[in-house]
Amino acid sequence: MAVDTVNAAPWRRLLFALNALVAWSGLALSFTLTVLGTYPSQNTDPTMLGNPDQGAIGRILDFFTYFTIWSNIIVAIVMTMLAINPTRNTFWFRVVRLDALLMITVTGIIYNAILAASAKNEGLEVISNFLEHVATPALTFAIWLVAGPRGWINWRTIWAALIIPVVWLVWALARGAVIDAYPYGFLNVAAYGYPTVLLNVLYIIIMAIILCLIFWGLDWVVRKMVPEKQTEAA
């Protein structure tokens, strides 16, 4: 078993705690607005998920079908765990740490590059949307660059990190097959059929692997520039 030598400096714990706080804040506000149906035009679009009369249970199920929510939840949990114990170091924790970085980066890139221009948020949604799609992605990436932990990425962690995104895809497609509606257009089997959707999924998986390789490279560069006595990925 590898010996954990991750630097547990107080400033790192503060950064991890800040990251967790921002992620939890966005989730809490978004979930509250969803449960209350504060902005039904946004939460119950019949062309996306559910139907206009689905009620709180349907809205909650919708909430947990979005990749944005999954990515923010993983960031919130992982960063909370790092803030509590920054020397935590197991194979599966390395995997979910990479998942947090990977999934929230995908969320930030896709939203800001493609979806932001057509977003129609109002009221408190503007705040929750900013926290989930802008603040948390940017903060998570920046804090990973500054505070690590370093040396946790290799081929084993990359392949294992694909498990959670694949589970999300299965859930989104399975629910879509039942209610005949999907959280994102690229998953819309009703409109495009399974061959096209599965090809889209393949592209996403390839993009995820490329991002992980970029993170791996950046991690190597940072370790060379600022050497630290931290555990290497086994």
CB-count exposure of residue 39 (10 Å: 0-12, 13-18, 19+): middle
> According to the model, what pLDDT value does residue 58 have?
79
Distance of CA 151 to the CA centre of its chain: 21
pTM: 0.88
> According to the model, what pLDDT value does residue 73 have?
98
- Whether 186 maps to a domain, the answer reads yes
Residue with tokens 């096209």: 196
> According to the model, what pLDDT value does residue 221 have?
94
How far apart are alpha carbons 75 and 104 in whole angstroms?
7
> According to the model, what pLDDT value does residue 40 have?
62
Q: What is the pLDDT of residues 54-64, one digit of tens each?
A: 677 878 888 89
> According to the model, what pLDDT value does residue 5 have?
44
> According to the model, what pLDDT value does residue 4 have?
43
Instruction: Provide the 10 A C-beta neighbour count for residue 158.
Output: 20
How far apart are alpha carbons 184 and 49 in whole angstroms?
9
- Whether 167 maps to a domain, the answer reads yes
- Whether 233 maps to a domain, the answer reads no
- Whether 35 maps to a domain, the answer reads yes
Give me the tens of pLDDT residue by residue for the chain, a chain 234 residues long: 343 444 567 889 999 999 999 999 999 999 999 888 887 655 444 445 555 556 778 788 888 999 999 999 999 999 999 999 988 899 999 999 999 999 999 999 988 887 777 778 888 988 999 999 999 999 999 999 999 899 999 999 999 999 999 999 999 999 888 887 888 888 888 888 899 999 988 998 999 999 999 999 999 999 888 766 544 444
The number of folded domains in the chain is 1
Q: What is the pLDDT of residues 96-135, one digit of tens each?
A: 999 999 999 999 998 888 777 777 888 898 899 999 999 9
- Whether 212 maps to a domain, the answer reads yes
> According to the model, what pLDDT value does residue 41 have?
55
- Whether 232 maps to a domain, the answer reads no
Q: Are 91 and 157 in contact (CB under 8 A)?
A: yes
- Whether 85 maps to a domain, the answer reads yes
- Whether 184 maps to a domain, the answer reads yes
Q: 15: domain range? A: 10-225
Q: Are 230 and 6 in contact (CB under 8 A)?
A: yes
> According to the model, what pLDDT value does residue 131 have?
96
> According to the model, what pLDDT value does residue 114 have?
78
Nearest-5° Cα angle at 56, 53 to 57: 100
